[in-house]
Amino acid sequence: MSQPAAQSGYEKLRDAITSGELQPSQRLVEAELSETFGLSRAAVRTALVRLEQDGLVSHERHRGAKVRLVTEEEAVEILEARAALESVAVRSAARNATKADVTQLRELLAQMKSLLKDGDLLRVSDVNARLHRRLLEISRNQTAIRLTATLNSQLVRFQFRTILAPGRAPQSLAEHTAVVDAVAAHDPDAAEHAMRTHLLHVMETIRAS
């Protein structure tokens, strides 16, 4: 099996898990995955090994592989780790951000505000994720980018649940605005504080729900 085929198989199955196409606790049968995603059995097998290393798949003796179910307690732990990584990264973003970067961030905020006005909370959540990714890109901290992507992939089932909590969406918009304002002002301390505050509130929402 070629390296590109193995990578393609891994990416297809990872995307299916992180998008929710493959649900938590769903059994992952090699033959079915091979047919559904147009992959060889070898590519599926290799992908499942890598996805287990990523924390997205688990194996049970005599029962095979399944999409790993992340508990609420673990979700909070993941967010604590994310808070540490993204707080460091956003300090760099505040130092590095160009006028063009700030314009892009404000455009994402405007999209969130418009979608919130329309009541499209699921798309608000999608733009939320894009804003976080853009902040990480601006930071240029490749380690934080890589580790955060792995952590976020395990939070799929909590991503939409938090934004749907009563009153959470407007609060989230205000928190993201504070982060962007601090980055635009090139204030690393304020940016870090705003990011930690935001992710703390996400943790509280998960606990409350």
Q: What is the pLDDT of residues 129-187, one digit of tens each?
A: 999 999 999 999 999 999 998 888 778 667 767 877 888 999 999 999 999 999 999 99
Backbone angles phi, psi at 182, to 5 degrees: -70, -40
Backbone angles phi, psi at 78, to 5 degrees: -65, -40
Query: Would you state the pLDDT for residue 127?
Result: 93
Cα angle for residues 203, 204, 209 (degrees, 5° grid): 100
Q: How far, in Å, are 42, 57, 131, 163, 193 from residue 60 at the CA level? A: 20, 10, 37, 33, 41
Beta bridge partners of 58: 66
Q: How far, in Å, are 116, 150, 152, 170, 180 from residue 174 at the CA level? A: 12, 26, 21, 6, 10
| CB contact set of 106 (below 8 Å; sequence gap of 6+) | 180, 184
Give the chain's radius of gyration (CA, Å).
18
Question: What are the DSSP calls for 108-132, one per residue?
Answer: HHHHHHHHHHHT-HHHHHHHHHHHH
Which parts of the chain have pLDDT scores under 50? none
Residue keyed to tokens 């956003």: 90
Q: Are 175 and 194 in contact (CB under 8 A)?
A: yes
Structure tokens of 148? 């955060």
Q: Are 10 and 47 in contact (CB under 8 A)?
A: yes
Query: Would you state the pLDDT for residue 162?
Result: 85
Q: How far, in Å, are 43, 53, 124 from residue 160 at the CA level? A: 31, 25, 9
Query: Would you state the pLDDT for residue 1?
Result: 62
Query: Would you state the pLDDT for residue 157?
Result: 66
Give the global pTM.
Answer: 0.79
Domains of the chain in start order, with CATH, are: 3-67 (1.10.10.10), 72-208 (1.20.120.530)
Average pLDDT, rounded, for the chain: 90
